[in-house]
Amino acid sequence: MAALNVLVVDEFDSERLLETSLRQHGCEVLTLKLKEVNMIQIVQTLHPDVVVLNLYTPSEAVLKMIIEINHSYSLPVVIFAEDQQTETINKVIKAGVSAYIVDGLDAKRIKSIVDIAIARFKEQHALKEELKKTKTQLEDRKLVDRAKAILIKSQGYTEDQAYHALRKLAMDRNIAIGEMAKNVISMAELFNK
């Protein structure tokens, strides 16, 4: 199994507890100070498996970077912090952080916290993908129904004939039936103008 590639962003001048602990567990670790970091650019360059931050409290700028990382690169983010205010926790959750650990920087627990955050992230990512797929299928179904209605009205087809015509057109063009339905709808709108 390949070593876990971890980007650590640390606000404190500490004894590099995160880095030391993760390296002891076989992880490849790059540690940078928060002040020096454009996280988005570094994530783009390094493609880490996980980003781990150690800070007092996540600033608005840090949260914005996390949102952008999640949007563009979709990877787990773990934050060790001191700030336990409910408002901060809510902001962190909305930003898509996989784990937010308050006052819990303990060398014995670091690797397991990172592993759990990665597992949780993968589970949430799978759920998001399934939801996206389901939404697409529902949208395609609506388009197919609309296209069938157009074919029924314009060609005098039965519902079954309209569906088979759509399916045959899609297969002949090597496209999805939802895409063919969009084309039929677009053509009908064009002729109705």
Residues 99 and 38 in one domain: yes
Number of domains in the chain: 2
Residues 15 and 88 in one domain: yes
Domain span holding position 182:
131-191
Residues 56 and 137 in one domain: no
Q: Return the amino acid letter for 120.
A: R
Residue 117 domain-assigned (yes or no): no
Residue 120 domain-assigned (yes or no): no
For residues 168-191, give the mean pLDDT: 92
Residue 145 is predicted with a pLDDT of: 95
* Lowest pLDDT segment from 29-33, 36-40, 169-173: 36-40
Residues 101 and 135 in one domain: no
Q: For 74-133, what is each residue's pLDDT tens digit?
A: 899 999 998 889 999 999 999 989 999 997 778 888 888 999 999 999 999 999 999 999
Residue 193 is predicted with a pLDDT of: 67
Q: Is the pLDDT of residue 1 over 70?
A: no
Residue 82 domain-assigned (yes or no): yes
Residue 52 is predicted with a pLDDT of: 92
- CA dist 71 and 40 (Å) reads 11
CATH number at residue 147: 1.10.10.10
CA neighbours within 13 Å on the CB side: how many for 102? Answer: 9
Q: How far is CA 154 from CA 65, 76, 111, in A?
A: 52, 51, 64
Read off the pTM. 0.74
Residues 100 and 183 in one domain: no
Q: Calculate the average pLDDT of the chain.
A: 89
Q: Is the pLDDT of residue 161 over 90?
A: yes
Residues 95 and 20 in one domain: yes
Residue 14 is predicted with a pLDDT of: 67
CATH number at residue 57: 3.40.50.2300
* Lowest pLDDT segment from 10-14, 19-23, 28-32, 56-60: 10-14
Residue 136 is predicted with a pLDDT of: 92
Residue 122 domain-assigned (yes or no): no
Residue 75 domain-assigned (yes or no): yes
Residue 125 domain-assigned (yes or no): no
Residue 151 is predicted with a pLDDT of: 92
| Whole-number percent of the chain with pLDDT over 90 | 53
Residues 139 and 81 in one domain: no
